[in-house]
Structure 1
Amino acid sequence: MEHLLKEQLGCTDVKPCEGASSGGISSGGAFLVDGKKVFVKQNSKPGSGVMLKGEFASLLEISETNTVRTPKPIKMFEDHGTAYLAVEFLEMSQLNKYAGELGRNMANLHLHNKNLRTQAQKDEGFVGRRTEFVDKFGFHTATCCGIIPMKNDWNQNWVEFLAQRRIKYQLDLVEQNYSDVKARELWPKVLQNIPKCFPKEFEIVPALLHGDLWGGNAAELSNEPCIFDPSAFYGHSEYDLAISHMFGGFPPAYFKAYHELIPKQPGFDNRQKLYQLFHYLNHWNHFGGGYRSSSISLMQQIAKMN
């Protein structure tokens, strides 16, 4: 590994050091690279190159907003069937005293693109001034929620993007892997009710999302909170909150601070069911039938919405 890092990172001195870890998807370790600590994630599974390329792009896009701390990406590369991602090493501990600050930072991340739109509108009529904002849903490259690549093709319509490129995509994988009769029966009713969760007067400005912000992908440093392992794309800000309520969730201070900047809108709870459905289906496809019951239950609730 030391020789490979010297070659890829263009450095002269590489030494392994404390900070090795192993997650549910990838493994990784820490290295001193010319005196600076770097974390290197690696994965040899099929499709791992797509996954780590998407994570590199996600970290870069989020870090450039200057709203929430992430490990700064250094380089993604592949060698002999294994994909590697080198990022800044951060000394992390469990999120605790900075939960409220993380809530504010995430709200500012979600508002960043909307603020760019406001600035662009102000810049109209000024020669030479142009503010770039994203006016579509999706992302410029594939990102993976786990190991499964998401369909991020740009779309002007969030409801269509959610239905076809998130929920239906996962259901197609369920059909392929499990051929579940109940899921197949419920889908037409779910699809019919998805638009009901979005009032016509409801404006959704594309927001840059983490995409997989459960409690295991957030932490704190000595003086601020941070997020990592993103699966970024531009979508509805509420989408990022769905998994934050799952699998142990976040401290109440996180949500309190978040909603002070982005208040809940009518229909919030029903939309959370849609967004959580994606994550339960994704877990079903990753980890098996233990997530079937939660997925089917949510599909039944959505199918009964008036």
Structure 2
Amino acid sequence: MIPQEVVHWLRENALGEVAETRPASGGCINNGVHLTTTKGERFFLKTNRGAPPDMFACEAEGLRALQVPDGPRVPKVYLVGEHFLLLEDLLPRANPPKAFWEALGRALAHLHTHTNPSFGFTHDNYIGSTPQPNPWTEDGYQFFAEHRLRYQTRLARRRGLLSVAHEQAVERLIQRLPELIPPQPASLIHGDLWRGNLLIDENGAPALIDPATHFGWAEAELGMMGLFGGFSPVCIAAYQEVRPCPPGLQERYPIYNLYHLLNHLNLFGGGYLQQVEVILKRFA
């Protein structure tokens, strides 16, 4: 069902009527459909009747923030409502061209050069369907501890997914963050960059969707990319040519990814508990 707000917006802007719809593949939170109008205009529509009323507005603001010079492409935002988001259709391709991964690495490095004096964002948003708090915080260790690890841990405790012992282990890891993680500025990051949120646009260039945008540790972005696979090593090599990371980057990935694994535990249940426990045993 196409929201009436979208139908009216198309008419008001002389873009035609909806002539064709094609469901998008993937997506475990929202429904997606490619729209083509009678005037040949193409759009991508996301809908979710059960979404929190600010979820799509938060996503729209995150997409706008990611539109930086030389950064990865993100879809333009055309219209947003409580239960829908109308975007530019990137006409994604299936197979990346030869230079794709190098281009992505360099574009991400340029994105991450956009920094802020404090960690956080202009508003809270969502990672998947989980609320993501982003209060401005001067100290990166405090931000990651309180608004990433502790937030997800408390949520999992309330849901009976973690024990007191697990929570204590998270606290021990938090105390070690300054010795485990090198100092980093607050960089503009996508925030939820797994392979499913990376597209190949109609020109063969990298494009990002479904962000959890904030100013955070850039290395945490790279860690998320390594969590579920699907990214070529060429990408990280190209990234480091533009924006080198201190030695031991891959050894730090599990610490950053504890946040995402706790979130997946909260979203999808106990199947992620073992991965959480492995990280806690290693670093706590």
Pair in the same fold by TM > 0.5? yes
Q: Could you say what secondary structure the match of 1:178 adopts?
A: coil
Once the 2 structures are TM-superposed, how far is the Cα of residue 158 of structure 1 from its aligned partner?
Answer: 0.5
Once the 2 structures are TM-superposed, how far is the Cα of residue 239 of structure 1 from its aligned partner?
Answer: 1.1
Once the 2 structures are TM-superposed, how far is the Cα of residue 11 of structure 1 from its aligned partner?
Answer: 3.6
What amino acid is aligned across from residue 187 of structure 2 in structure 1? A
Aligned match of 1:17 in 15, 20, 27? 20
Runs of 4+ in 1 over 6 A off after TM superposition: none
Report % sequence identity.
29
Aligned equivalents of 2:51, 2:34: Cα separation in 1:
24
8 Å Cα contact 1:273-1:302 kept in structure 2: no
User: 1:298 corresponds to which residue?
Assistant: 279
- Give the 5 Å matches for 1:141-160: 141-160=123-142
Mean CA deviation greater in 219-228 or 157-166: 219-228
What amino acid is aligned across from residue 271 of structure 1 in structure 2? R
Aligned match of 2:232 in 251, 257, 263? 251
8 Å Cα contact 2:6-2:79 kept in structure 1: no
User: 2:113 corresponds to which residue?
Assistant: 111
- Residues 216 and 281 of structure 1: CA distance in aligned 2, closer, same or farther (over 3 Å): same
Aligned match of 1:75 in 76, 79, 89? 79
Mean CA deviation greater in 15-24 or 139-148: 15-24
User: 2:5 corresponds to which residue?
Assistant: 4
8 Å Cα contact 2:223-2:250 kept in structure 1: no
Aligned equivalents of 1:259, 1:8: Cα separation in 2:
43
Q: Could you say what secondary structure the match of 2:78 adopts?
A: strand
User: 1:86 corresponds to which residue?
Assistant: 86
Q: Could you say what secondary structure the match of 2:80 adopts?
A: strand
| Unmatched tracts of structure 1, length 5 or more | 114-133
Aligned match of 1:45 in 37, 45, 50? 50
Aligned equivalents of 1:95, 1:240: Cα separation in 2:
23
Aligned match of 2:41 in 33, 36, 40? 36
User: 1:139 corresponds to which residue?
Assistant: 121
Once the 2 structures are TM-superposed, how far is the Cα of residue 103 of structure 1 from its aligned partner?
Answer: 0.9
Aligned residues: 275
User: 1:283 corresponds to which residue?
Assistant: 264
Aligned match of 1:57 in 40, 47, 61? 61
Aligned match of 1:188 in 155, 160, 171? 171
User: 1:268 corresponds to which residue?
Assistant: 249
Q: TM-score when scaled to structure 2?
A: 0.90
- Residues 2 and 76 of structure 1: CA distance in aligned 2, closer, same or farther (over 3 Å): closer
The one-character-per-residue Cα deviations of 1:4-33 (angstroms, maximum 9, x if unpaired) are 313345345221424422510000212235
Aligned match of 2:186 in 206, 209, 213? 206
Aligned equivalents of 1:106, 1:95: Cα separation in 2:
20
